[in-house]
Amino acid sequence: MRIWAIAWPIILSNITVPLLGLVDTAVVGHLPDSRYLAAVTLGATLFSFLYWGFGFLRMGTTGLVAQAMGRESDSDVRHLLGQSLIIAGVIGVLLILFSTPLVSLGLHLLDGSDAATPLAREYAQIRLWSAPAVLANYAILGWFLGQQNSRVTLMILLLTNSINIVLDIWFVVGLGMTSNGVAWASVIADYSALAFGGYLVLRQLKTLEGHFLRARLLALSAYTALFNINANLFVRTLGLLFVMAFFTAQGARQGDTVLAANAVLLQFIMLTSYALDGFAHAAESLVGRAYGRRDWQELASIVRRVALFSFWTAGGASLLFAFGGNHLVALLTGLEEVRATAAVYLPWMVAMPLIAVWSYLLDGIFIGTSAVREMRNSIFIGTLFYLPAWWLTQGLGNHGLWLAFTLFITVRSGVLIGYYQRYRHTRWC
């Protein structure tokens, strides 16, 4: 039951994420000029990649805090929060200082239209003011999750998205703003979430013994563990971003219809991740605590139970895509040509959950045990198969692209399984 108690708030909070995107699209999409919608799309895409790259602030914090909980070290739990918030603040300020070249480079790579790009630039320059708040919220969410308190994740995301949606409507519909109104709504929502998260943090700190020590917050040597973990997670995330960007680019080369069909099918992967991420996050927290206690029997038991939850969920997703995939496609697009094209490649989606489930699960296990180099290595090794497979199967068109992507996921899962089996018999025993 502990697994489900941690997982369900994460699953529910994940579902709120696309809701915000739908509202952004609906509000701006009703403006008289389509360039505003294009600007928000470009800007939101840029920030999705940018902030995803700093997701290590959540993952790295969760694993180390869970281990500190297992050691029953209130001091470590307290100082990991302080250190993570300092790192988040420094990175956030640097992003603001270097906002002009970062935004210019990102929009150049996205290659938007001449009409939409200036508006997207304005949107992005506004959104970057929230960088310290967004990254600090990552650290706060990771800290609470490491303590097996996933309900905070749900509360913070519900608050963020609710404020964002209300302000979207007020600024754009009520005040007559355009894409800049959507950007300011996000900034205000992010800082509101930080204020609420800060309140919850202060309340939680009162339950921990001790107090903050300046030496542990200001001495660089005290950050060794966080720096090592976060650096590997950052490189791992960059590798994933490359794989996804390459997939999108190669699909685009095959025409707008294939690109659109692939985008629809990728939403199936996102849908699966909403559920599987919940169990992976539960594994991070529970495995990390067992690892901190050096309770190998408990660790193995947790892995078995989370694996069962994950496997049955993945099986359910595969059945859903097999028997209801075409209906889901129809909900996502009304274009008959895109629907027909997506139907051709739908079998890849039926197989994907049962292949990808192991990488989600094992990511959670390795974050909990701080074995993040192995996660990084799995991306590199998977890419070594991904690129040659794409090259050799170009004659198969989009089927070849999906084959290469599926091989990448398979190899990545296989590498992580190999590491797990080795450590289960050598380190975690």
Instruction: Establish if 5 belongs to a structural domain.
Output: no
In this prediction, residue 216 carries a pLDDT of: 87
333 burial type by CB count under 10 A (0-12 exposed, 13-18 middle, 19+ buried): middle
User: Are both 211 and 297 inside the same structural domain?
Assistant: no
Q: Under a CB-based contact definition with an 8 Å cutoff, are residues 262 and 248 in contact?
A: yes
User: Are both 107 and 245 inside the same structural domain?
Assistant: no
Instruction: Establish if 395 belongs to a structural domain.
Output: yes
User: Are both 197 and 248 inside the same structural domain?
Assistant: no
CA distances to 78, 207, 286, 291, 292 from 72, in Å = 12, 13, 14, 12, 9
Q: What is the largest CA-CA distance in the chain?
A: 64
Instruction: Establish if 223 belongs to a structural domain.
Output: no
User: Are both 314 and 210 inside the same structural domain?
Assistant: no
In this prediction, residue 20 carries a pLDDT of: 61
User: Are both 348 and 213 inside the same structural domain?
Assistant: no
User: Are both 129 and 256 inside the same structural domain?
Assistant: no
In this prediction, residue 50 carries a pLDDT of: 81
User: Are both 188 and 245 inside the same structural domain?
Assistant: no
Instruction: Establish if 262 belongs to a structural domain.
Output: yes
Cα–Cα distance, 146 to 153 (Å, whole number): 11
In this prediction, residue 371 carries a pLDDT of: 92
Among the candidates 196, 218, 240, a domain finishes at 218
User: Are both 407 and 262 inside the same structural domain?
Assistant: yes
User: Are both 375 and 421 inside the same structural domain?
Assistant: yes
Instruction: Establish if 296 belongs to a structural domain.
Output: yes
51 burial type by CB count under 10 A (0-12 exposed, 13-18 middle, 19+ buried): middle
What is the per-residue DSSP string for 161-191?
A: HHHHHHHHIIIIIIT---HHHHHHHHHHHHH
Instruction: Establish if 375 belongs to a structural domain.
Output: yes
User: Are both 325 and 192 inside the same structural domain?
Assistant: no
Cα–Cα distance, 285 to 250 (Å, whole number): 37
Angle at Cα 130 formed by Cα 125 and Cα 131, nearest 5°?
90
In this prediction, residue 34 carries a pLDDT of: 64
Instruction: Establish if 185 belongs to a structural domain.
Output: yes
Among the candidates 175, 198, 218, a domain finishes at 218
Tokens of 249: 């680019």
Q: What sign does the dihedral 313-318-323-329 (CA atoms) show?
A: positive
User: Are both 202 and 235 inside the same structural domain?
Assistant: no
Angle at Cα 180 formed by Cα 177 and Cα 182, nearest 5°?
85
Number of domains in the chain: 2
Q: Under a CB-based contact definition with an 8 Å cutoff, are residues 83 and 216 in contact?
A: yes
Q: Under a CB-based contact definition with an 8 Å cutoff, are residues 265 and 349 in contact?
A: yes
Cα–Cα distance, 158 to 12 (Å, whole number): 9
User: Are both 160 and 33 inside the same structural domain?
Assistant: yes
Domain residues for the domain of 100 are 12-218
Among the candidates 158, 184, 218, a domain finishes at 218
pLDDT in tens, the chain (429 residues): 678 888 888 887 777 665 666 566 667 766 776 677 777 777 777 777 788 888 888 898 999 999 999 999 999 999 999 999 999 999 999 999 998 898 888 887 776 667 777 888 888 899 999 999 999 999 999 999 999 998 888 899 889 888 988 998 899 888 888 888 888 999 999 999 999 999 999 999 999 988 888 888 888 888 888 889 999 999 999 999 889 888 888 887 888 788 778 878 887 888 888 888 889 999 999 999 999 999 999 999 999 999 999 999 999 999 999 999 888 888 776 778 888 988 999 999 999 999 999 999 999 999 999 999 999 999 999 999 999 999 999 999 999 999 999 999 999 999 999 999 999 989 887
In this prediction, residue 27 carries a pLDDT of: 73
In this prediction, residue 325 carries a pLDDT of: 87
Instruction: Establish if 6 belongs to a structural domain.
Output: no
